[in-house]
Structure 1
């Protein structure tokens, strides 16, 4: 049984990825920061379809929680699935902030840094002893690292850092055949940054070659592929999933 961890799995891309991976036969450990009910609903949908999942509370901005989280993951691997190792880790949890660069406060900057770069760095480090031979790491980045979008400078900068970190993970974990790739969504219909109103959605759709914004499942399918045997020869790559955004 292949068991994966997905951070921020209670909604949006994370929830869609959890459900899609479960349909492919993977066991899922998903995390949530505060919305236990939403996370429980994802678990219930997975279990009602014949899968197996568990939701664990985790604030990816708080590195002090990571040791306890690793212990909880180890316990659930053994008690629910009877295995000792993880087959995958999806560093997905995050939040957006739309504000001009000159108005960003140090607290806002540090909050985005902790969630989007520091957290994935140290969570991956903490879970590495549980990662099995040939496991897969998928880091969620953003098309804003390629297309400069006014108002998201710190978010994009840290996602860019995570994209670089992905290649270093692939390099340094190669002796254990652990792959690391980044998935870079474009405009997706999620709650990140407050969601999309009709006017903003129409603008983003007009800037996308396929004429629409993406849905969480558009991204989830690619993440699941990278976690599966079908993606076993893809490594150290950043894959933009954006329908042709600003080409």
Structure 2
């Protein structure tokens, strides 16, 4: 009918496909077909909606626009949605509650911002791009440290007794990478955690070079600093993190 065609054209316009209503599916790209599928699902005004990676094949700008469409439509119609995604941005911008599944089991559940800012499981930490170290708290001459199973010793805030299993989280942007000072050794604790680490891997990052070090600790280094630091696999560096950027909690 004319009304149905007008509604379809309006939805195609909302997903950025205005004027393509007469094209056959074979004449559309994969991303365009994905946008049509999302528009078709929303146009039906369902009581509940299951979306499996609805934005996975789209470029960054198109995905951002469709998130706005999806969020506004779902909120306006109060549609119940189950969204399956591996994109932390989808969870943060679209979800009221997030469940993290690993091998079919729920390992975390809560508000997206809370879960992704302070993950309790390595899989969640990888999705959120957050450093997560697991180990045992020990007393050091300068204060508590978290000792990982592979022997990495990271100074950490207090709050968990020595000998207790614990986990430590902090974001890669909070990590500063520097050379090992000539007079490296025990000093005052101060306001920052400092420890030596070895470079394991280097890869392009969103703000420069992402450095992976022992303990699977990630740090982001600006491009201008890479030559001065002589970053290479196997090199020893000093990592520095403000204590107020760390979160230590006991593990059950």
| Same fold flag (TM > 0.5) | no
Comparing both structures, which one devotes a greater share of its residues to helix?
1
Higher RCO, Cα 8 Å, sep 6+: 1
Which structure carries more strand by proportion? 2
TM-score (norm 2): 0.21
> Could you tell me the TM-score, scaled by structure 1's length?
0.22
